[in-house]
Structure 1
Amino acid sequence: MKKILILGAGQSTPSLISYLLNEAKENNWFVTVCDMNLELAKQRVNGHPNGIALEFDVNDAAMRNKLIEESDIVVNLLAPVFQYLIALDCLNFGKHCVTASYENLRVAELHKDAVRKGILILNEMGLDPGIDHMSAMALINKIREKGGYVKSFISYGGGLPAPEVKSNPFNYCITWNPRNVVMAGESGALYKEQGKQKVISYQQVFNRTWEVDIEGVGTFEAYPNRDSLIYEKIFNVKKTETMVRATLRYPGWGETWAQIVKLGLPTENFKIPNLHQKTYAEYIDMFLPLNISGTKIETKTANYLGISPTGKIMNNLRWLGLFSDEKIGGKVSTSAEVMTDLLRKKLPLPSGGRDLVILAHEVIAKYPKEKREEKIVSTLVEYGDPHGDTAIAKTVGLPAAIAAKLILQNKLPLSGCYIPTHPSVYVPVMAELKKLGLKFKEKIQKIK
């Protein structure tokens, strides 16, 4: 009996776990689901005869090593900071590993060792990163097969509440790890537009937004995401004049979040003593210079930011509770942890509400022999089930689950460290996702 070890049972895992439990029943496999929260792990397993839930501390090396050694494959959904640790353990014990987070550079350096061990360490098998890479590669290869090349590549991704959900002034709900929302944009952005490289600092990312229309859904706001230029090499598209990867939000998100960044709240560079004992107003005051005019914390904040004390942005900050006399509480030691807890409390997906996932590629393809160009828009729009799995859970969890199944069935003939840009990975995974209803719609427009 082959054994699957799943590390982490958080918001992105329900679809992954249920998929692998169903496959375990069909294939005589066994699934062990581990999480710090035992009750959550039990909820995910839901009494399935081919599964068990365990309380798990990733820092317990003896337990971690025992579980990995006894498994055939590890699906790691823990925080990215643990990616290298788990990959190294899998390498030591000769076990395959699948993750949904961005590939750590130290993990990538394990490639030759993984080849020698004959194991596959497959990273970025989620939504973004994951489905975005796989769908992009499928589209790019289709263009190549027709004798063309990519002249412009713009990719958008977003996990959002459905348009009908109007539960807060931010038009946003937490359906995945809130830390990722808090720390978004921290690396700034690097991209290419009309042949020119563009660099945006963290402080300016949320000020440099633009409108994007998604057919059948509505108008969104986009901001550039990380280093887009590395994808020229990853996707092997060396003739691009434009290469941009961007994140989608509802209009208005950027103007408020830009001020939160200006205050310096999304930082985890240092631990602040006794932070949990402070009120939110005292917390904000720590980030303001001493010489800022004003007697009330709201006035001082507005003066520092150079915004209206009665405008929309200040109302949003006030709604979050950032000027309140409520104690922060909890187990927080960094400013980013305060903001993470605050977003989790203030921006939940309401009961009965749906979330929404959007992935869209806007590609201009050039066909030299035919002397023509065309614009291809390839879009995935997926809504969550208000009484079942969220769209985030489906789109993040299913790619990793499918990959794990294919590895156990010896249908992924690779060894080493990979992301899903290899056809051996993305062709079968995208085919299975399509069967499960996760499919892209293409619209092609002739340019000249």
Structure 2
Amino acid sequence: MTTERKILLLGSGFVAGPAVEYILRRPENQLTIACRRIANAEALAKQFSRAKSESIDVTNEEALDEIISRHDLVISLIPYTFHPLVIKSAIKFKKHVVTTSYVSPAMKEFHAAAIENDLTIMNEIGLDPGIDHLYALKTINEVHANGGKIISFISYCGGLPAPECSNNPLGYKFSWSSRGVLLALRNSAKFCQDGKIVEIHESDLMSSAKPYLIYPAFAFLSYPNRDSTPFKEFYNIPEAQTVVRGTLRYQGFTDFVKVLVKIGLLDDANQDYLQFDSPEISWRDVIAKVLHISSNTEDDLRKAIKSTIAENEISEDEIERILKGFKWLGLFSDQPVHRRNTLLDTLCATLEEKMQYEEGERDMVILQHKFEIELKNGTRETWTSTLLEYGKPPGPSAMATTVGIPCGIAVQLILDGVIKKRGVLQPYTSEINNPIIAELEKEGIKVKEEKL
């Protein structure tokens, strides 16, 4: 008889469903879904016969210890800043942990303790990070095993509306908090290009975007994401002259964001007039304030926005399209804003209201690695690994599937003793990656590999 396994899932957000479904296929698995808002946990748990719900405040050390002590493995899908609290408690009670988040310095500090306690703390096992690591290293290891070199590694990933659903000025929709999406647009970037380190200041990130062709039907722009340079070491490609990891968006997105940034709508400083208890204020009055003009007529607002854009920075046609987008969002209207203390959060409230997925609309995930290879005999080739997934309304989104399923697979492989490596881990080794890839492909999540 198979021993019962008790699994704790912290968080019940949008990627949790596919992970839960996968884990509960095995009859010995029992799952507790716990989050701060018990109603959210209950809504997910009631969809499955061997799932129950509890309320938990992970900042309450005693409560966290108590709930973790009752389980065999913990999945943490809560914000990454709370993972160290979870890992600390899990090590105390000798429980494995799985997260889909990047390993932070605070998480890495538990590496020695995890090894000492014979525990696997598996991280970065969603889509990006996750599936991207698996298939990057699959090709890199194949090339190295055959005596070849990686001259260039370029990787771009995008979570987007399917083309027919990209029906708004940004060509983007929010299935969860828009704040994180917008804050990421203010990061600086760093990468290797032709043997040199290139750094892009946060104010220039959107201007650095370039067209990127995967399939002719998609009009993508790409821009680098944070610091790609450590991946020369992480992926064991010291020979690579170019290493870039970045983001894909539809064309039009970056110019629109550029204007939002220029006029100050991504500012996260508190504003007196946007406090919850301040008087109601319309969007046209907010825009006038950020532009420092006294008139709030649409004509004057449009003129003032145009004056912030440098000559030849954005084409006239594109500026007109962006201004129509501002109007579509209601930024020139008498509509009262949802006051959220800062311009960024006030804008987010409007974006989330206007740019949600409607019933029946589907999302899309696209990921491509492009490798410039030098074979053992000196021949140069280009290899690509491409993942294209669509959501299946009314079922899970493509993003939920491609994050949740790898997470669920990692959980099961740890419980089954297939993943034996200990410590605070990322999917950077064949002994971890190959079994996960095999299970992913059984789920129909397949990356198309081509040699061009």
Q: Report the CA distance shift for 1:335/1:22 in structure 2 as closer, same or farther (over 3 A).
A: farther
2: CA distance between counterparts of 1:57 and 1:216?
48
Paired residue for 1:354, among 358, 362, 366?
Answer: 362
Unpaired segments of 5 or more residues in structure 2? none
Deviates more, 1:316-325 or 1:379-388: 316-325
Query: Paired residue for 1:379?
Result: 386
1:327 aligns with 2:331: no
From the superposition, tell whether residues 350 and 47 of structure 1 become closer, same or farther in structure 2 (CA, over 3 Å). closer
Equivalent residue in structure 1 for 2:324, among 315, 319, 322: 315
The corresponding residue for 2:443 is 436
Partner of 2:167: 167
Looking at structure 1, the residues matched to 432 and 321 of structure 2 have their Cα atoms a distance apart, in angstroms, of 46
In structure 1, the residue matched to 2:265 is 265
1:4-40 CA-to-partner distances (Å, cap 9, x unmatched) read: 11111111221111111223x2xx1210112334333
| Alpha-carbon shift at residue 286 of structure 1 (Å) | 4.9
Matches within 5 A, 1:199-214: 199-214=199-214
The structure-2 alpha-carbon separation of the partners of 1:394 and 1:318, relative to structure 1 and needing over 3 Å to count, comes to same
**Which residue does 1:13 correspond to in 2?**
16
With over 3 angstroms needed to count, the CA separation of the structure-2 counterparts of 1:310 and 1:417, relative to structure 1, is closer
Aligned partners of 1:426, 1:176: CA distance in 2, in Å?
Answer: 29
CA-to-partner distance for each residue in 1:145-170, whole Å, 9 max, x for gaps? 12111000000100011112243222
- Cα distance 1:313–1:407, how it changes in 2: closer, same or farther (>3 A)? same
Deviations 1:321-345 (A, max 9, x none): 3343333336x34443323332221
Aligned partners of 2:169 and 2:322 also within 8 Å: no
Q: What do residues 110-137 of structure 1 show as CA deviations (whole Å, max 9, x unaligned)?
A: 2112111221211211111111111101
Alignment of 1:57-68 (within 5 A): 57-68=57-68
Deviates more, 1:46-55 or 1:6-15: 46-55
Instruction: Decide whether the 8 Å contact of 1:293 with 1:303 is kept in 2.
Output: no
Counterparts of 1:110-129 in structure 2 under 5 Å? 110-129=110-129
CA offset at residue 299 of structure 1? 3.8
Equivalent residue number for residue 136 of structure 1: 136
Q: Which amino acid aligns with 1:146?
A: N
Alignment of 1:146-185 (within 5 A): 146-185=146-185
Which aligned segments of 4 or more residues in structure 1 are displaced greater than 6 angstroms? 290-295, 307-310
The CA RMSD measured in Å over matched residues stands at: 2.4
Kindly, what percent of the aligned residue pairs are identical?
32
SS at match of 1:22: coil
Q: Name the SS for the 1:214 alignment partner.
A: coil
| AA in 1 matched with 2:123 | N
Tell me the TM-score normalized by structure 2: 0.90
**Corresponding letter in the other structure for 1:261:** V
Q: 5 Å matches for 1:4-403?
A: 4-23=7-26, 25=27, 28-215=28-215, 217-268=217-268, 270-273=269-272, 274-276=274-276, 277=278, 278-289=281-292, 296-306=300-310, 311-329=320-338, 332-367=340-375, 369-403=376-410
1-side partners of 2:210 and 2:202: how far apart? 17
Q: How many residues align structurally?
A: 439
Asked if structure 1 preserves the Cα contact closer than 8 Å seen for 2:219 and 2:250, the reply is yes
One-letter code aligned to 1:350:
E
TM-score normalised by length of structure 1: 0.91
For the Cα contact (< 8 Å) 2:6–2:71, is it kept in 1? yes
Letter in structure 1 aligned against 2:144: R
Residue 85 of structure 1 aligns to a residue whose secondary structure is helix
Change (3 A) 1:116 1:302: same
- Aligned in 2, Cα 1:361/1:297: closer, same or farther, shift over 3 Å? same
Contact 1:206–1:254, Cα closer than 8 Å, also in 2: yes
1:427 to 420, 427, 434: 434
Q: In 1, Cα distance between the equivalents of 2:128 and 2:204?
A: 22
Q: 1:72 to 1:265 in 2, by over 3 A?
A: farther
